[in-house]
Amino acid sequence: MPPEKKEFPAEKTVLHARNQHRARYDFPALIKTLPALKPFVRLNEFKTASVDFFNPEAVKMLNRSLLKHFYGIDNWDIPPGYLCPPIPGRADYLHHIADALASYNVINNKPQIPRGHSIKCLDIGVGANCVYPIIGTKEYGWSFVGADVDPVSVASTRAIVTGNPAISKMIEIRQQPKSQHIFQGIIQAEERFDLTICNPPFHSSAAEANAGSTRKAQNLKRNRKAPPVLNFGGQHRELWCEGGEPAFLANLIRESSQFASSCFLFSTLVSKSAHLPHLYRLLEKAGAKEVKTIPMRQGNKVSRLLAWTFLSPEERQSWVMDRWK
């Protein structure tokens, strides 16, 4: 007997209030925007329109339709096997971190999000998809530098930028020349960033990444024999690095202290709350003046943003007056 049609909430209230993806996917509207999506849409076991999230091509086509429908991106593609991130979660990061910036920019007792191309953001590990810069330029008018160590990712992201004239003057892509560095070799002398963002590699090995994908597949299908499918893709350095997330973030914090005056607010995703106490100790040792932890949730997935600044209150006020007003 087929399962009864499942009732879904009309709005994903766990997402940020400004997130354009709080409503369920409107597949007729998305197909109208991108007709190539139509062959991938079908009724699932609950008789609800969906795509097969175990089919990488279906996931990529869904992302292509979302980026075109909501952000006006006409030309977007990624190489086979590279990370195809869920758009709602990427948007949530940027909306939450925009609120964090706003907390330092209070006008008439009301926090104001700094907007416009003068606000400069650095995306560490931009990947092959360029999703964070796309959303940030479209939602807030920020300009971006996207950095990555992988030459294939750099070439892919540059193709996305040049293929979309509306964002081509807002986004610059830089190759990280040394894999052991994060900010070194990317932030130039006298250069200033208002914000850095990062989606770090969560795993310590390919085997661990595949195990995580298997668990995800099992949870989605509720089938303990479900095969491991990296339906969102992902390469080395996108999904794993030596030492996993703790080692990567330790290096991120260490290098951020070397560029303490070059950035107003550093930030990163942290996948596991158990990592936070150690990160707090590292930030204290590095000399961070203020640290923020911002909870996030997409569906059943719970994560958090960690943000910090090395600037004193007086230095922050001067920065805001000079750059944001």
Percentage of the chain beyond pLDDT 90 is 77
Cβ-based neighbours of 84, under 8 Å, separated by 6 or more: 56, 59, 60, 63, 78, 129, 232, 233
154-174 pLDDT, tens digit per residue, is 999 999 999 999 999 999 999
Axis crossing angle, helix 131-140 with helix 56-71, rounded to the nearest 10: 20
Per-residue pLDDT reduced to its tens digit, 8-41 = 667 888 999 999 999 999 999 999 999 999 999 9
Task: Determine the Cα–Cα distance for residues 85 and 197; give it in Å rounded to an integer.
Answer: 15
Under the banding of pLDDT at 50, 70 and 90, the label for residue 212 is very low
Tell me the mean pLDDT in the region 127-152. Answer: 97
Residue 231 banded pLDDT, cuts 50, 70, 90 = very low
Residue 228 sits at φ, ψ, to 5 deg, of: -70, 120
| 244 phi and psi angles, rounded to 5 deg | 65, -160
pLDDT of 234 reads 47
Arithmetic mean of pLDDT over the chain: 89
Q: Tell me which long-range contacts 232-235 makes (C-beta under 8 A, separation of at least 24).
A: 232/56, 232/59, 232/83, 232/84, 232/85, 232/86, 233/56, 233/78, 233/80, 233/81, 233/82, 233/83, 233/84, 234/81, 234/82, 234/83, 234/209, 235/81, 235/82, 235/83, 235/150, 235/152, 235/153
- Single pTM value for the model: 0.88
Predicted confidence (pLDDT) per residue in 285-297, tens digit: 999 999 999 999 8
Lowest mean pLDDT among 102-111, 154-163, 200-209, 264-273: 200-209
Can you give the pLDDT at residue 58?
Answer: 96
Q: How far apart are CA 142 and CA 123, in angstroms?
A: 12
The residue with greater pLDDT, 259 or 201, is 259
Can you point out the beta strands (E) in the chain?
Answer: 41-43, 49-51, 106-107, 110-111, 120-124, 143-148, 171-175, 193-198, 263-270, 290-298, 301-309
Angle of the 56-71 helix axis to the 87-102 helix axis, nearest 10 = 40
pLDDT of 2 above 60:
no
- Contact of 136 with 93, CB cutoff 8 Å: no
Q: Supply 253's token pair.
A: 């914090």
| CA angle, 284 then 240 then 305, to 5° | 40
Whether 99 has a pLDDT exceeding 80, the answer reads: yes
Identify how many contiguous H helices and E strands the chain contains and give both numbers.
10, 11
Dump the DSSP string for 161-180.
HHT-HHHHTTEEEEE-S-TT
Q: What is each CA distance from 33 to 36, 52, 161, 215, 291, in whole angstroms? A: 9, 19, 20, 34, 41
State the pLDDT at residue 203. 42
Q: Report whether 200 contacts 279 (CB < 8 A).
A: no
* Residue 46 pLDDT class (50, 70, 90 cuts): confident
Instruction: Tell whether the model's pLDDT for residue 7 goes beyond 70.
Output: no
In the predicted structure, residue 305 carries a pLDDT above the cut 50:
yes
Query: Which of 109-113, 233-237, 303-307 shows the lowest per-residue confidence on average (mean pLDDT)?
Result: 233-237
User: Which whole number is the average pLDDT over 220-225?
Assistant: 47
DSSP state of 47: S
**3-class secondary-structure state, position 197:** strand
Predicted confidence at residue 9, as pLDDT, reads 66
pLDDT-derived band at 185 (thresholds 50, 70, 90) equals very high
Q: Report phi then psi at 193, rounded to 5.
A: -120, 140
pLDDT class for 202, splitting at 50, 70, 90?
A: low
What is the reported pLDDT for 218?
47
pLDDT at 205: 47
Predicted confidence (pLDDT) at residue 136 exceeds the cutoff of 80: yes
Between CA 319 and CA 145 the distance in angstroms is 20
Q: Report the C-alpha gap between 124 and 198 in whole angstroms.
A: 5
What value does the mean pLDDT take over residues 169-194? 96
